[in-house]
A and B are shown apart, each in its own frame.
Chain A
């Protein structure tokens, strides 16, 4: 038999307490669930905000429109009435200045705040945007009017702005812009919102980066075009100068040709008539007259050699020396010079010898000019040697001829050795003056040898004579 026992007082109390506990536990569970759902919904909204901004940012290359879109979207998402964009100033001062982009629910109400903001530049660390600039992270200020260090604290208070947050637009680690938002209602930091805003900042950073990339490309293209234009105009300049040089050269050549002709023509008359008179063509000439006339002839020839030297040097300096390229025999040239010079050597009782191998190969170059060089060297050797001998030696290898003219003259001291090749330093050398001659011969000889592709040099010891040597490429090409 079962009895329905009435519940005791304690039992009733306990049951009631239990009911109450369970009700409260359930209520708490519901509150937790609601909050979780609310959080989830907010997160979804945040993600949607981020998506919208990302899409808009991707579609535009206009930085201003992306920024405006972003502040409009954030204000709409948060229901905050004021949004504004700062850009990092491009003048290198490292300050933020207004981008003049605003979202204002009530433009009139916030006018003074706007004016003050636009008039202010923020350095790193100063004020809301300045702090974001230096930290590179979002910042939330719960009550702007409470922090007297903020430059706009008073202006904020005047228009009733309380809470503010700002976040950076980043390219990598660099802050290039700061977005700030203001609300009239004080609210606590919303960490989730700040996190989303950090992502927005990165998205917007990409727009700026892309824009900069485009601008850099355009600048490069413009730079290339300018460089190209410069090159073209440079090329034109060079062409013009080249033309002028060619014309100038032609004038020089013409001048030299004319001068040569002008100088030689009267000399031809002087020497020609002198020769004819001495040849008794106009009748017999008394010895006294013919002796004097011979001296006239000598002077004439001297003048001729001076003129030739000056003309040669002018030609060389005008870059007009042209060497003939023909086959020649160096041994013939040397023998010819020796034959010409022999009488002079005889007069001074000097021995003139040659050391020329039998098997010299043929050369290619300007025999006439080589002849001129040798005449000069041998002539000088004879001129400056009073006793002993002058010797010409030739040797060769596969590629070159080497010619050496040695004498037993007084020798040349080292200081003079440098000067003798320089046409402008002849004046001081008393010995040159005494011996006559233009003194240009060595200079010209060296130039000829150098144009012919080889060096000309002297080895000498005072009291032991001198040896002038030059080498030439066996086969010379004008163009080479």
Chain B
């Protein structure tokens, strides 16, 4: 897992729950905590941090992932505006994940293991995405999606009829958007 994710987690926790909460999480997680955004660290460390945060915040780990995604997205938009500026809707943004965003990520962060999504665009109202990474971070993906919708001023309904954590072959997201009433 690239150090960037760890950095984002730290920043989100500090902002939403305060510096002390993060320090507590670090101590309870029993990890070193010095993460260079360019470096690579074992997946087990993020799992430990999420667990520690879950117990500190009295939330389920999946919920923590979802909140991480939701709150980290604006930070990413600030760091890499070029991935957001060309889009006007969440739908097109999501569609650019494989070929644009993750392709660039691999260039900047050599060795990054990014997931590849499959899309079903047959319905203009509902975007169906398939996700099959063994990391099973569908909750993080949901958080990112909700964060992106907020960024583009849309409301999103995120349904997951299939989930690997529930024993399915892969996760399937059904995402419908509507513009938030001004």
Contact = CB atoms under 8 A, between A and B. Distances in A.
- A/B touching: CB–CB < 8 A: yes
Interface of A: 14, 17-18, 20-22, 24-26, 28-29, 32-33, 36
Contacts of B38: 28-29, 32-33
B169 interface: no
B39 A29 contact: yes
A32 B39 contact: yes
A36 B109 CA distance: 11
26 contacts: A14-B23, A17-B23, A17-B33, A18-B23, A20-B34, A21-B32, A21-B33, A21-B34, A22-B34, A24-B34, A25-B34, A25-B35, A25-B36, A25-B37, A26-B36, A28-B34, A28-B36, A28-B38, A29-B36, A29-B37, A29-B38, A29-B39, A32-B36, A32-B39, A33-B38, A36-B110
Contacts of A25: 3, 34-37
A22 to B, nearest CB: 7
Q: Looking at chain B, what size class is its interface with the partner chain?
A: 10 to 19
Nearest to A31: B36
Interface of B: 3, 19-20, 23, 32-39, 110
Q: What DSSP secondary structure best describes chain B's contact surface?
A: loop
Nearest to A30: B36
Contacts of A24: 34
Contacts of A14: 19-20, 23
A25 B2 CA distance: 13
B7 to A, nearest CB: 8
Given A21-B33, A22-B34, A28 B39 contact: yes
Contacts of B36: 25-26, 28-29, 32
Taking each of B20, B37, B38, B39, which has the highest tally of chain A beta carbons within 10 Å of its own beta carbon?
B38
B4 to A, nearest CB: 11
Contacts of A26: 36
Given A20-B34, A25-B35, A28-B39, 18 more contacts: A14-B19, A14-B20, A14-B23, A17-B23, A18-B23, A25-B3, A25-B34, A25-B36, A25-B37, A26-B36, A28-B36, A28-B38, A29-B36, A29-B38, A29-B39, A32-B38, A32-B39, A36-B110
B89 to A, nearest CB: 35
Contacts of A36: 110
A154 B19 CA distance: 64
A144 B181 CA distance: 75
B46 to A, nearest CB: 15
